[in-house]
Amino acid sequence: MLTARRAAILRYVVDEYVDSGQPVASRTVAQKYRLPISPATIRNEMMRLEEEGYLHQPHTSAGRIPSDKGYRYYVEWLMREETPPEAVRQQVWEEMWQAAKRLEECARVAAAALATYVHGMALVTMPHGPPARLRWLEVVKLRDPLVLVVVVLYQARVRERVLTLGEVGQEDLSDAAHRLSYRFAGMAAHQLRRAIPHLSAQEREIMNAAASLLEEEDAYAYRLAALEGIKELLGYPEFADRRQMLAILDYLEGEGISRLLPYPLPPQGGVRVVIGSEHPEEPLRHLSMVVASYPAPGGARGGVAVVGPTRLRYGRAVGMVRYLASLMERITQAWWGG
């Protein structure tokens, strides 16, 4: 935990950088926020924050900007969630309810409102069923050190992955697969992940592969209902670099869009924030995402998310994403019930 003074300075640097997009100097913090300490003390504290990884200096003699670690601390401890104003909430609700006869159109209205309000790229997915669960597992020897892990799902689908496992005989592999299948049948990926640390080294390798395959199945199950705000996202100065912009567009135009939402989605009522380098997908490591889920009958869930640069207005984004997820829940329940 940071001292109260360093935490306050970090919050001011984040807020100032989000507003201006320019590195923040100690002089700016001293003059704008009128802290009861000298500019020299502020400068020393900013240097300590840099040494501890919360800030970094993009250029010599420039001010400082938050690192991903700094943003994470800000989101966890310093951020003030902003509930959308009443006028915004009322307008969005009326527009979504008017479009509620078609769930995809309702999702489009929600995504457009989110993109405009947060100035980022927004997406909403259709509800999909419960997570994939393991039915049976096979491990087939190819040639040392390669084996094929085959996962059979309860959804009557099969996924497989080649794994490097070292020298091991087919009989031992079959015994391990049978034993693991019997123990873990019916489990979803998050349940497997909890059990994996208690297995032997060889079993951990096999079940890590199985859990990854289940997670991929879950991620591909999301069906995009609406995507809005690509221009808002690419309009930030951070994406003036042509190569970076093209990498994002290539990702969105390919199969990456089906993996855009992090899995698993947060529980109902919760909001998950993924910041920069925390994202597993390389093209997205210059971006941040705020995502919430909404439930539907039968155990299905959909997602609402906004994507922007790491200097996203996190408090504003979290409040709006949470609100839109609650509206999607209400409309989905009414739609299913009707």
Every domain of the chain and the residues it spans: 4-78, 86-129+222-337, 134-220
CATH of 4-78, one of 3.90.226.10, 3.10.580.10, 1.10.10.10, 3.40.190.10: 1.10.10.10
The pTM (predicted TM-score) of the whole model is 0.79
User: Could you say which architecture CATH assigns to the domain 134-220?
Assistant: 2-Layer Sandwich (3.30)
Contact between 300 and 289 under an 8 Å Cβ cutoff? The reply is: no
Q: What is the mean pLDDT of the chain?
A: 90
DSSP 8-state code for residue 174: H
Q: What is the mean pLDDT of residues 91-118?
A: 94
Q: What is the pLDDT of residues 190-214, one digit of tens each?
A: 899 999 999 999 999 999 999 999 9
Q: What is the pLDDT of residues 166-187, one digit of tens each?
A: 888 999 999 999 999 999 999 9
Q: What is the mean pLDDT of residues 251-276?
A: 80
Q: What is the mean pLDDT of residues 53-77?
A: 94
pLDDT of the residue at 263: 67
pLDDT of the residue at 57: 93
Q: What is the mean pLDDT of residues 315-319?
A: 98
Contact between 229 and 184 under an 8 Å Cβ cutoff? The reply is: no
User: Which helix (H) or strand (E) is 287 found in, with range?
Assistant: strand 287-296
Q: What is the mean pLDDT of residues 311-322?
A: 98
Q: What is the mean pLDDT of residues 286-293?
A: 95
Residue 139, sorted as left (phi over 0), alpha (psi -120 to 50) or beta, turns out to be beta
Can you give the length of the chain in residues?
338
**Rounded Cα gap, residues 119 and 230, in angstroms:** 10
Task: Give the tokens for residue 29.
Answer: 């913090």
**Rounded Cα gap, residues 249 and 173, in angstroms:** 42
Least confident of 186-200, 244-258, 300-314: 244-258
Contact between 262 and 287 under an 8 Å Cβ cutoff? The reply is: no
Reduced to 3 states, what is the DSSP secondary structure of residue 291?
Answer: strand
**Residue at 93: amino acid letter:** W
pLDDT of the residue at 3: 95
pLDDT of the residue at 215: 85
Give me the CATH code for the 86-129+222-337 domain, please. Answer: 3.30.450.40
